[in-house]
Structure 1
């Protein structure tokens, strides 16, 4: 899947670049797992084929089709610097929850959270997760939230 780590205190978000097929094949280690649109910068984990449809959903929007086919979640950094956890609830409705603490998403999330608990940065947390999770690895991209906001002005 992916590991995305949000360091609330240091105001950074990091994501790995690995894509896999099934549980045994590494497809790519430099994939881009971020997107930008009018809502802000998205950090996405899960089924890449669903990315564009997922980010088009507004808060409270509902997916079309079978919910069982969906495997995607994201952090969204908006233009004010707020980070949201965005996921599909059990009814297939998009929910946006503001995050005011360090957190992580994806298959390596438990390892990344533990690393940040021990003072590691978001990039170090993703790097640590890659030592324990086969779906995490490759190039790590880190966004400094303050720098991102300065570029938006």
Structure 2
């Protein structure tokens, strides 16, 4: 799957794409900018567009096996969508640590121990088979929401 971590105004994420236990690609760009909004995507790549569409008001017509951390200039959010729950958007507190994806437990533990978001994704890549490839970090400027 992936690991996306947030700490101290920085979002870090890996670039590996897997199918089962097979690495398909190890330099995929998981940060997508759509209409000025940055989506840091986790889950099935075939569901990324459906989740982004739902964020902008699109109708959820099927299960979406993807989630994202979103920086939209007003706040930082975790988003997801599905048939039962529809589109959902939860604020991320800017003074907290946060992580999503298959390596999120490893990343949160690393950040609890003092690691930066970037270092946390590096640590997750050592233990989570769904995390790897190039690790990237982006500083996000967000407003008061979240």
For structure 1, the residue ranges without an aligned partner over 5 or more in a row are: none
CA distance in 1, matches of 2:36, 2:100: 20
Matching of residues 70-89 of structure 1 within 5 Å:
70-80=64-74, 82-88=75-81
- The equivalent of 1:18 in structure 2 is 16
- TM-score, normalised to structure 1, is 0.84
CA-based RMSD:
1.7
- What's 2:89 paired with? 96
Q: Which runs of 5+ in 2 are unaligned?
A: none
Following superposition of structure 1 onto structure 2, how do residues 140-151 of structure 1 map, counting pairs within 5 Å?
A: 140-146=135-141
* Moved >3 Å (runs of 4+): 58-62
Q: Deviation digits for residues 104-144 of structure 1, max 9, x if unmatched?
A: 00000000000000110001000000000011011011001
Please report the TM-score for the alignment, with normalisation by the length of structure 2. 0.88
**Partner Cα distance (2:127, 2:46) in 1:** 26
CA offsets per residue over residues 1-46 of structure 1, 9 Å max, x none?
0000011xx21001101111112x1111111101112251000000
Distance 1:52 1:60, change over 3 A: closer
Task: Please report how far the alpha carbon of residue 52 of structure 1 lies from its aligned counterpart in structure 2 after TM superposition.
Answer: 1.1
- The alignment covers a number of residue pairs equal to 140
